[in-house]
Structure 1
Amino acid sequence: MLREFNNVDILTLTIMGCLLLVALSKLLFAKRFNEFAYLLFNSRYSSLYIREQRFLDVFEGLLFSNLVLNLGLLLFIYLSYIGQNDVSQLSIFKYSFLIGLFLILKVLFERLLSSVLDIEPIIDKYLFQTISFRNFIGLLLLPINAFLIYTLKPNKISFFILVGFLFLILIFGLFLFIKNNLNAFKKSLFYFILYLCALEIAPYVVLYKMITTN
């Protein structure tokens, strides 16, 4: 199992790197980080910072880097658990790169599609909410991954519980978005449902298959 590995240097360095990214985001953007920490409990963060949304954002970039590193680490832990012990710890960075590239291309394609469907205003808000909740999941994954590496012996039940918990957070974010934008959905509900089915479910299945078959 994962805790039996003799060399945990790369795992430790990855955890430390994630801690550094989170610390930098808090140090450089203290007020924004404090608002972000309460993302699940109120919509203040979204209402305050959606107006400042831009393609290149240092705060979001730091948290996004933390997210993809933690997702790569979690995937490595899972593959190690199911018996792929020949997977190198350096694969963490390969998984992180593929996940990060996938998420970036996905956002670019989503913006293009929203322009084609003429639903840019609602999709811009949705993307900001989705990116924020993903980055929040990255914060949660940091202590969870550390716990799985150094304390808890991973098992199938713990992975199912963890994935279910993360999925519920994303569903909660979607619920809040719909709740706060009911009026906008009156004109574009069909397109938004089509958008969700095409770009928020199937791509993740494809990504998982691509990574695990390589």
Structure 2
Amino acid sequence: MLREVLSTELYTISLIICLVLVAIAKLLFPKRFQDFLMLLINFRYLKVYSREQKFIDVFEGLLFTNLIIGLSVFILLCFNLSISIPEAEYLTPPKLAFGIGMLILIKILLERLVSSILNMDSIIDNYIFQKVSYKNFLGLLLIPINAILIYSWYPTRISTSVFIILLILINVYGILIFIKDNLKTIKKNWLYFILYLCALEISPYLVLYKIYTL
């Protein structure tokens, strides 16, 4: 169903920024970007680049920035169910993007802290890399999803719920792939790993679901 043209300037700017970030990532790292696009069906990216992890990674930084911008737009569309943002609230998307970015970074730091306490640094480092990779992949998917919700479909509870479920399923898929590939190592620390998943992975999604369905 086509929608009437409303105030979409801020969303359009956000989408353009996301496209520019992805284009820069592809331009600077063409081979890595090509491998990254095949993440769901080919695990070469995870096997090759997990060994080249850096504290500051430009490629991941560009895609992570795209993720938090796209996610902030998606959250606004889900909760407002509207594409019109009053002029007085034009700072809301940047503030939300900053908050999301800080929450994710703090969560990663906590995960690294917990992994050190539980003496699981090697496995959790690989897990975090794989999880961030799948989240950045979701950032790519959010570009067309947000474009659809802004310019084509009215963002209803049904349409946004479908997209939310899709994004969660891909994230869960990444976790299951990691468990399959590291099953022997996880078996040695299965109790700690389960506690880790429940505390830092499953519970946040349950809280978000509870908030969304209120």
Q: CA deviation at 1:119?
A: 0.6
Determine the structure 2 residue equivalent to 1:61: 61
Distance in 1 of aligned mates of 2:83 and 2:49 = 44
Distance in 2 of aligned mates of 1:148 and 1:184 = 42
Distance in 1 of aligned mates of 2:67 and 2:171 = 14
Distance in 2 of aligned mates of 1:207 and 1:180 = 28
Distance in 2 of aligned mates of 1:52 and 1:91 = 36
Aligned in 2, Cα 1:209/1:89: closer, same or farther, shift over 3 Å?
A: farther
Determine the structure 1 residue equivalent to 2:160: 159
Contact 2:22 2:62 in 1 (8 A): yes
Tell whether 2:175 aligns with 1:178.
no
Q: CA deviation at 1:5?
A: 7.0
Structure 2: gaps (5+ residues)? none
Structure 1: gaps (5+ residues)? none
Alignment of 1:29-48 (within 5 A): 29-48=29-48
Contact 2:7 2:85 in 1 (8 A): no
Q: Which amino acid aligns with 2:45?
A: Y
Contact 1:129 1:173 in 2 (8 A): yes
Q: Secondary structure at the match of 1:54?
A: coil
Q: Which amino acid aligns with 1:120?
A: D
Contact 1:11 1:89 in 2 (8 A): no
CA deviation digits over 1:68-118, x for unaligned, max 9? 000000011112217997682431111111110000011011001100000
Distance in 2 of aligned mates of 1:84 and 1:205 = 29
Q: Which amino acid aligns with 2:100?
A: I
Determine the structure 2 residue equivalent to 1:138: 139
Return the TM-score normalized by structure 2: 0.90
The percentage of counterpart residues that share the same residue type is: 49
Determine the structure 2 residue equivalent to 1:11: 11
Determine the structure 2 residue equivalent to 1:102: 103
Q: Secondary structure at the match of 1:153?
A: coil
Aligned in 2, Cα 1:164/1:201: closer, same or farther, shift over 3 Å?
A: same
Bigger shift: residues 186-195 or 199-208: 199-208
Distance in 2 of aligned mates of 1:17 and 1:191 = 40
When the two chains are superposed, the root-mean-square deviation of aligned CA atoms in Å is 2.3
Determine the structure 2 residue equivalent to 1:198: 199
Distance in 2 of aligned mates of 1:72 and 1:208 = 16
Tell whether 2:119 aligns with 1:118.
yes
Determine the structure 2 residue equivalent to 1:81: 81
Q: Secondary structure at the match of 1:41?
A: coil
Contact 1:76 1:89 in 2 (8 A): no
Q: Which amino acid aligns with 2:130?
A: Q
Distance in 2 of aligned mates of 1:165 and 1:75 = 15
Q: Which amino acid aligns with 1:167?
A: I
Determine the structure 2 residue equivalent to 1:71: 71
Distance in 1 of aligned mates of 2:126 and 2:83 = 41
